[in-house]
Structure formats: C-alpha cells, structure tokens
Amino acid sequence: MACGSCGTTENGVPKGCKSNGNCGSGSCGSGSEKLAVFDWLSNMSLPSGQERFNIFEVRFKNGRKHFFKNVDNLPLIMGDIIAVEGSPGHDIGTISLAGELVKVQMKKRKITEDHEDVKKIYRKANQRDIDIWQAARAKEEETQRKGREILGRLGLQMKLSDVEYQGDGNKATFYYTADARVDFRQLIRDLAGAFSIRVEMKQVGARQEAARLGGIGSCGRELCCSTWLTDFRKVSTSAARYQQLSLNPLKLAGQCGKLKCCLNYELDTYLDALKSFPKQDVILRTEKGDAVFVKMDIFKKHLWYTYKEERFKWFQLTLEQVHEIIDLNKNNEKSIPLEEYESELEIPVKVDFEDAVGQDSLTRFDTPKTSKRRNNRNKRNKKPVAATANSSKENTQNQPPKRRPKRNPNQKPKATGNPNQKPKAEGNVTQPKANNKPKRTPRPKADRKPNKPKSSNEPNQPKAEGSKPNKPRRNNKNRNNNKPKNGESPQEK
C-alpha cells in the first residue's frame, strides 16, 4: 500500500515520504487523509500499445477533489505535490489517484475528458511554491475569526464554517451555511478590504459542512461523510419506523443536525424481512373482542396485540399465530381469545453459565465483596444499650456465685466496679456447690474442738497449724488465685 517513491531501510522503516515508520501519513493516498484511495491497479502493466491515462485526481483541503490533465506528460505518481491551474492564478494540491481508476471516478461523477472543469497541471511544486502555500494555510484560522466578527457586526443570518486559501495566497474561499437567502454584497467588500485578497463565497449544506470539518459519531468512529461517503442520499423518518426505532430526534440526528446517514444502511434488509409480516393496521377479530397491533420484534418474529376495550394487557403472539387468525377472519370466523394463543407460546429457557469443569462464574466481579470484620462491627454498633444491660444481668444471675477470697478482718473492703451497688452482708456468703459429688457428712458438734469456733461474722478463718481443715471444694478458676504464697494470707500480696 505504498507509492512508488517509498523504499525500505535495513530496519524496515519506509523512506521517501517521511512517514516515520508507517505508510499511514496520507502522502501515499492510503493513510489518514479524508477520502483516501488505494490504487490496487498500480502494479499491473498495460496492454501493449496502450498509453497511460493522463488525467489525475488531485486532493485539496478537507477532501476536496478535482481532475486535472497532464498536458506536458510529466512523470507524476501518487503523493506528489503539484501546481495546477486556478481561477485566477495557480493552486497547490496532492495527487490522490492516478491510472485507470481515475476513469472509474470520472464515470461515477459523470465527467468526460473534454469537460470544462478538467483543467491542466502546470508543474511539480518547488520549494518556493510549498512555502507560499504553507504560509497561506497558516492564515486561515485568523481569517475565519475576523470574518465571524464582521458577520456579527453586519448582523447577517449565516454561519461561517471554514476558510480555504488558494495555493498562491491571492484568493480565499469562504464556506458558509444559511437557512435562507442572504445578501452578502457588503460582506464581500468588507472581507476584501480587511484581508486584501479576492473573496469567493460558497454555500454548503449541513451535511457538507460536517464532511469538511469531520468529527466522531455516536458509534465511536470517525464520521462516514468525512472518510468514505461521497454521495449524500435523502434520509426520512420512515427509515426509522421500518426499523422499529423510537422517533427521538436527539438519538436519530447526527452532528450535522440532520438524520443519520447510517439509517439507510440496513433499510433494505428490514424491508425484505417485513414482507412476511402483516400490516400494522390489520385488526384481529376474536371471540373476546377486536385486537389491535402494539409492537413487533422483527428478529424473533414476535408480535404484541391488545384488546380495544382492555388495553392494559398485551398478548405476545408468533408470526404463524397471527397469520392463522387473519386466515380465520378472512373466512368470516372469529378465533379463540388471545390468552389461549399466548399460553401455547413456548418461551425458550435462558442458558446461564454452568460450572461444569470447576471454572469461576463470569459474574463473580459484579457484586462487591463485604468483609466479615465490617459486618461484625456493624452488628456490635447496632446492639441497643438496654439489651446489653439486660443480657449482662441475666448472665450474672445464671452463673453460680463465685467464692469470695479470704481476707484479713482488719483490712478495709475494696471498692467494687459499680458504685451504686450495695455491698452484701458477710454472713450471707454462699458456698459453691460441689461438682456432682456426694456431700461429706459434717462432724457432730461434740467432736469439734472448742478452741476453734466458727463465727458467723468471720467465715472461713484460717485454722491452726497441725489441724486438717475441712476445705470446701473450689472451682478450677479460683484455685490459682486463692492459693497462699509462703504461708501468707491470700490478701497480702
């Protein structure tokens, strides 16, 4: 897809058109330039005795193309910058197509070889011509800005969309759009006096303006009119109706403000598919009443009807069922109610993802993961205070009372955690129950020693050495805490 001047270096980088690594710069006629064409017949040799076609297609700014005749038989190829005949003066353009394909383009546009629009080629552009051309192109943006200021001062109902300078810099073409006829004679005098050039005004439509400026469509691709579409056919709202599209102008309109050209791309396919469908104004006569059309699904061949008296319920029917009802109506017979037809409709089961080989679900990342720590924290925060207080009381009542440790009668009692709670009497200390073991029978009072009376006010006093006290069984939890160290009392630590 390269022109004849392109070569390849040792590293595989093309040289000759300064493409810096690819042939997509547009100079080869097949790059990113608008409406670029690839000459797929360039490598084919002509039959013996046939001369090469001497008319070339030349591209100017924003995809504007014209045909020029090579009168002097200059050695020209695609991508060359040439000086061509202008009106007046000369213009600079790039050869976009050469050879036999130019005949096809001329036949498509209905232009003959001796047509008055086919002008001649002067020469290959030299460095001086290219410098003047680039300097003129650099002034286009500033000229357009000042031209819009002059339009606003004159108050003309028109929009200046683009400005194009001729290659010699002596003439500028102003492209504008307007809804009605505009008298711009004073505008031409003001523009000529402001820029000291010849001024040509050219009106274009909204589609041509979008094609010249370019842009990105709603599909995410570059506009068709600025890349490959050359003929703009009429687009009507009936194309959207045939394709069962909502008549929303915001969705159906393109960047030019008109209906999208792509509505015509699949219109023929839809028209062929709709030939088997009945007309939408056909009324179905049933035993329950007349039914009217609501909508259809062309791809699944389903239609929805509803009764005239009961429009809140839609009934889904297949195309075969609708034709069956229409045939009965033609024989002056009424069909059964639509409910029975809808009950016969088989809805295909939606095939979901099946974990047949131990794969993960395709929707495993759709739902965010929730951490267990956060859930536990939320549950803890949501628990009411009254409930926690009640639950703590219940737990204390259900648990067996713990044995109070032995203390010195001269030592003051320690303050408890709850200041409002009253201290219990020392005589009411309850002994812990034994762990499912038979209780030992107490000794009679006569056998007890009189020097060791057990006072109610001083329970659990330490006994004298050499005697074997009758120790009550304790829980394992309090065993380590109540164990005396070095013959001291448990409170003296």
Q: What is the pLDDT of residue 39?
A: 77
Answer yes or no: are the C-beta atoms of 28 and 14 closer than 8 Å.
Answer: no
Alpha carbons 104 and 44: distance in angstroms, whole number: 16
Crossing angle between the packed helical segments 185-195 and 140-154, to the nearest 10 degrees? 140
Alpha carbons 33 and 79: distance in angstroms, whole number: 12
Tokens of 80: 């060359």
Answer yes or no: are the C-beta atoms of 93 and 26 closer than 8 Å.
Answer: no
Tokens of 104: 């096809």
Task: Give which of 161, 142, 167 is closest to 211, Cα–Cα.
Answer: 161
Q: Is 97 exposed, middle or buried (0-12, 13-18, 19+ CB in 10 A)?
A: buried
Angle at 339 between CA 334 and CA 340, to 5 degrees: 75
Sorted by where each starts, the structural domains of the chain and their CATH numbers stand as 7-123 (no CATH), 134-204 (3.30.300), 213-273 (no CATH), 277-344 (no CATH)
| Residue-by-residue pLDDT tens, the chain, 493 positions | 344 445 555 555 555 554 444 444 443 433 445 667 777 777 778 787 788 889 999 999 888 899 999 999 899 988 899 999 998 889 999 999 998 889 988 998 889 988 888 999 999 999 999 999 999 999 999 999 999 999 999 999 999 999 999 999 999 999 999 988 888 899 999 999 999 999 999 999 999 899 888 889 989 999 998 888 888 889 999 999 999 888 898 899 998 999 999 999 999 999 999 999 999 899 999 999 899 999 999 988 999 999 988 888 899 999 999 999 999 999 999 999 888 888 877 777 776 656 566 566 667 777 776 666 666 766 666 655 554 455 555 555 555 555 555 555 565 555 554 555 554 544 444 454 545 555 565 565 555 555 555 444 444 444 444 455 555 555 555 555 555 555 454 444 4
Q: What is the pLDDT of residue 66?
A: 93
pTM of structure: 0.57
Residue 165 pairs in a beta bridge with 172
